[in-house]
Structure 1
Amino acid sequence: MSDPVMDTMNFLNEITLRYPEAISFAPGRPYDGLFDVEQIFAHIRRYLDHLALQGESPAGIREALFQYGPTAGRIRELIAGSLRADEDIQVPAESIVVTVGCQEAMFLTLRVLFSRREDVLLVSSPSYVGITGAARLLGIEPVAVVEHEDGLSCADVEVAVAVELAAGRRPRAIYVTPDHSNPSGVTMPLRTRHELLDLAARHDLLILEDSPYRLVSQGTRLPTLKSLDRARRVVHLGSYSKTVFPGARVGFAVADQTVVDTAGRSGLLADELAKVKSMVTVNTSPLGQAVIAGALLESAGRISDLNDETAKYYGDTLRTTLRCLDRVLPPVRRARLGVGWNRPSGGFFLTLKVPFRADNAALARSAQDFGVIWTPMSYFYPQGGGERGIRLSTSYLTHDEIESGIARLAEFIASASEDS
């Protein structure tokens, strides 16, 4: 519990509470203004009407809301239908486990897959802290593979696999966020997706695919790794936190791999996840599932259609942030300061390179003296690095807040650069 990754979110929360007037680019969360309280009641009513049309008795409907329910989830058929409609992911409902957000899906998957001391989890560097934190809680040390400006290189993954095998360890899985990743905002090219699937088949490696920003981003979507998966190499981890709302706390894992137990009996990996879940959270909230089910029914499974306006909003805030950066840090000034940033095509995040250490001390000074909060990129490097990087989240702010916040950020960067 003394691992620094465990303290990252606490420190950000502390800074935010200490400086409530500061504009914060730290939270990777949906914008509150997109929510309507009445949506919750409408979604639940839609699901209850669906159960009645399916012939469910009043007692059965009551049980569906008030009782624990099956560990693997009540709405697996609806999720399977939505995955077919939106993502061309063709899997049976029994291969899905409904979880308490995607974070539980990660935890369950790691707990089931990593059973030997020599098992290794490969992650990109930088990587989402939720996966590295969950791994370390389970005694799994993540092995970092450097992410480049265009994402992971399969040649680098090959090298990492070879190094681990030579050391007597077994690379068991690799975690990736192929679309608009957190924290870098990078999207994996189609060619790399195919190469990664081929690599996984050659090395008996599983791919843990987590892609929460796809359906809230504009533009043409590349196919998910799972939709391209013909050898059942991909465990697809999903969430409705960005596409419906995070308070429902509903996610899922698609685990259609065949496993064989010590008695020679075969089953699905999803069944093993459900066994662990039964001892961790028992089940996922039936009320949360009811809300998500109503949203899926309302959109005929096409959550992308439900999020058309949402995706426009996030695309607009990302473009506004980039325009503001271009304006306050034009080419000559940014070259003089030694500053640069990437230009993601969607998602919630972009990253800046700065000429000074963007650590907790710099963040505290930025909040106190300049009224702007951001996230140090060093939080996301599981084996060190990122000391001169900043992550900006563009999802949670209005245009006016972005304009003011980027102006403050530019002044902080100029001051910190002169002091470095």
Structure 2
Amino acid sequence: MEELHGSLSEPVLDTMNFLNEITHRYPDAISFAPGRPYDGFFDSEQVFACIRRYLDHLAEQGASAQDVRTALYQYGPTAGLIRGVIADSLRADEDTDVPAESIVVTVGAQEAMFLVLRALFAGPDDVLLVSSPCYVGITGAARLLDIAVRPVEEREDGFDPSDLESAVLAELAQGRRPRAFYVVPDHSNPSGTTMGPEAREKLLELAERYDFLVLEDSPYRQVSPGTPLPTLKSRDRSRRVVHLGSYSKTVFPGARVGFVVADQRVRDPAGGEHLLADELAKIKSMVTVNTSSLSQAAVAGALLGAQGRLSQLNAEAAAHYGEAMREMLRQLDARLPAERREALGVSWNEPTGGFFLTMRVPFRVDDARLITSAKDFGVLWTPLTHFHPGAGGHHGIRLSTSYLTRAEIEEGAARLARFVEAQCEAL
């Protein structure tokens, strides 16, 4: 191992594999661990219909039979085949008007993160700030690229811009450059919190004042009930926001299609200007060459079928996920009513959407405790420590409600309550 890159010894790179492995080891356990869409919304025939719709769209736009065949079977442009479709969808659903040329279609949002980090972080003094706890994909990508990460801890009610400003000032005082701040503003993974409108405006103001970019990752907003708050990108008047998009939750994860909106201007030594997206495409050409044309066709067909409106495409799913979250909260309250959980020192937040909520417990939570929960109580969850770039999360549990039926949520909550009671009594 000492002859391999140091990142391979980092616990963050083991998180995904560990959770998959323990799920397979205890197949009879009810799992609140995976942040996966509900299988009941997928129909095998739907994929073929979506691809057919996109091919028909190309023909309607004047493409010849040879052009259509090439689009489907060949590598295709590195920046993506369906940038125009995505740009139209952003205008229709997110009040975001950006040129198609500012979009790069990626292999999931994960590749988008990697491309953006590689392009932006030029030296050892560049620092990535992250709202913590945060999605492990961003911290894992940063570690692979040897990028310094500074966590900005969320408060009980979520992200506070004043904490970010303090972190920025501390980094500047040390002679380092806060290059970008990563955040999931809507129903975040893992905490489930949503950034309020005032905090969003303050964040954009801080980015301009201190000259850093905001990496906005928001895959859960269009699979949540109600009208979402405006994206940061839709309120971005000075090109401070790089928007990371994913169709894994809104269309289907097997397509592995994401995108990045990078409309920032890059000045070259000769005085010319071009888009940051052009630089990201250069990097992509050396990483994945291009995103699967077949996957892009399926996603584009789904978008075209809903006139670009993911909110329309996902109306039924959003209602389902909202009800799943409410059912989980009802079951937790029934199994651990207010008086009992106060006596135990247990609490949880109450997200209005998304896939996740977080529970606080008085005992220490780690992977060994998770194995006990799976083996002796038949219930799985995720230790919050996996989502903290620094120390932290030792008394937190992430619970995902997205993948389970109502009956599974009811039984899983009962098992979880028994586990929590037993651990508290053992203190």
Residue 359 (structure 2) aligned to one of 335, 349, 352: 352
Partner residue in 2 for 1:337: 344
Aligned AA for 2:285? Answer: S
Residue 133 (structure 1) aligned to one of 136, 140, 143: 140
Could you tell me whether the CA contact under 8 Å between 1:176 and 1:207 is conserved in 2? yes
Residue 302 (structure 1) aligned to one of 306, 309, 312: 309
- 2:201 and 2:152 map into 1 onto residues whose CA distance is 18
Aligned AA for 1:211? Answer: S
Aligned AA for 2:423? Answer: A
Partner residue in 2 for 1:361: 368
Per-residue displacement from partner, 1:11-55 (whole Å, max 9, x unpaired)? 211211111100000000101111001110110010111111111
1:381 aligns with 2:388: yes
Could you tell me whether the CA contact under 8 Å between 1:149 and 1:186 is conserved in 2? no
- 1:296 and 1:9 map into 2 onto residues whose CA distance is 29
Partner residue in 1 for 2:401: 394
Partner residue in 2 for 1:45: 52
1:100 aligns with 2:114: no
- 1:232 and 1:199 map into 2 onto residues whose CA distance is 13
1:25 aligns with 2:32: yes
- 1:95 and 1:8 map into 2 onto residues whose CA distance is 33
Aligned AA for 1:155? Answer: S
* C-alpha deviation, 1:419, in angstroms: 1.4
Partner residue in 1 for 2:180: 173
Partner residue in 2 for 1:324: 331
1:312 aligns with 2:326: no
Partner residue in 2 for 1:162: 169
Aligned AA for 1:341? Answer: W
- 1:226 and 1:148 map into 2 onto residues whose CA distance is 24
Per-residue displacement from partner, 1:110-143 (whole Å, max 9, x unpaired)? 0000011100000011011010100111001210
Could you tell me whether the CA contact under 8 Å between 1:86 and 1:301 is conserved in 2? yes
Residue 265 (structure 1) aligned to one of 233, 247, 272: 272
Residue 243 of structure 1: SS of its match in structure 2? coil
Aligned AA for 1:10? Answer: N
Aligned positions of 1:173-212 closer than 5 A: 173-212=180-219
Partner residue in 2 for 1:371: 378
* C-alpha deviation, 1:344, in angstroms: 0.3
Identical aligned residues as a percent: 69
- 2:42 and 2:156 map into 1 onto residues whose CA distance is 34
Root mean square deviation of aligned Cα:
0.7
Could you tell me whether the CA contact under 8 Å between 1:177 and 1:211 is conserved in 2? yes
Could you tell me whether the CA contact under 8 Å between 1:355 and 1:388 is conserved in 2? yes
Could you tell me whether the CA contact under 8 Å between 1:200 and 1:233 is conserved in 2? yes
- 2:81 and 2:18 map into 1 onto residues whose CA distance is 37
Partner residue in 1 for 2:5: none
* C-alpha deviation, 1:264, in angstroms: 3.0
* C-alpha deviation, 1:149, in angstroms: 2.5
Partner residue in 2 for 1:119: 126
Residue 249 (structure 1) aligned to one of 238, 243, 256: 256
- 2:367 and 2:426 map into 1 onto residues whose CA distance is 16
Could you tell me whether the CA contact under 8 Å between 2:216 and 2:232 is conserved in 1? yes
Deviating beyond 6 angstroms after TM superposition, the runs of 4 or more aligned structure 1 residues are none
Partner residue in 2 for 1:291: 298
Aligned AA for 1:82? Answer: S
- 1:127 and 1:346 map into 2 onto residues whose CA distance is 17
Residue 148 of structure 1: SS of its match in structure 2? coil
TM-score (norm 1): 0.99
- 1:121 and 1:151 map into 2 onto residues whose CA distance is 19
- 1:233 and 1:363 map into 2 onto residues whose CA distance is 40
- 1:354 and 1:212 map into 2 onto residues whose CA distance is 28
- 2:254 and 2:43 map into 1 onto residues whose CA distance is 13
Aligned AA for 1:3? Answer: E
1:80 aligns with 2:87: yes
- 1:341 and 1:2 map into 2 onto residues whose CA distance is 32
Residue 243 of structure 2: SS of its match in structure 1? strand
* C-alpha deviation, 1:262, in angstroms: 3.3
Could you tell me whether the CA contact under 8 Å between 1:258 and 1:267 is conserved in 2? yes
Residue 219 of structure 1: SS of its match in structure 2? coil
Residue 175 of structure 1: SS of its match in structure 2? strand
- 1:209 and 1:3 map into 2 onto residues whose CA distance is 25
Aligned AA for 1:416? Answer: Q
Residue 9 of structure 2: SS of its match in structure 1? coil
TM-score (norm 2): 0.98
- Count of residues in correspondence between the two structures: 420
Aligned AA for 2:341? Answer: R
Residue 152 of structure 1: SS of its match in structure 2? coil
- 2:83 and 2:269 map into 1 onto residues whose CA distance is 28
- 2:382 and 2:268 map into 1 onto residues whose CA distance is 44
**Which residues of structure 1 form unaligned runs of 5+?**
none
Could you tell me whether the CA contact under 8 Å between 2:124 and 2:148 is conserved in 1? no
- 1:33 and 1:114 map into 2 onto residues whose CA distance is 41
- 1:359 and 1:379 map into 2 onto residues whose CA distance is 9
Residue 75 (structure 2) aligned to one of 61, 68, 82: 68
- 2:20 and 2:251 map into 1 onto residues whose CA distance is 24
Could you tell me whether the CA contact under 8 Å between 1:377 and 1:387 is conserved in 2? yes
Could you tell me whether the CA contact under 8 Å between 1:314 and 1:395 is conserved in 2? yes
Could you tell me whether the CA contact under 8 Å between 1:216 and 1:307 is conserved in 2? yes
Aligned AA for 1:60? Answer: D
Aligned AA for 2:235? Answer: L
* C-alpha deviation, 1:152, in angstroms: 1.5
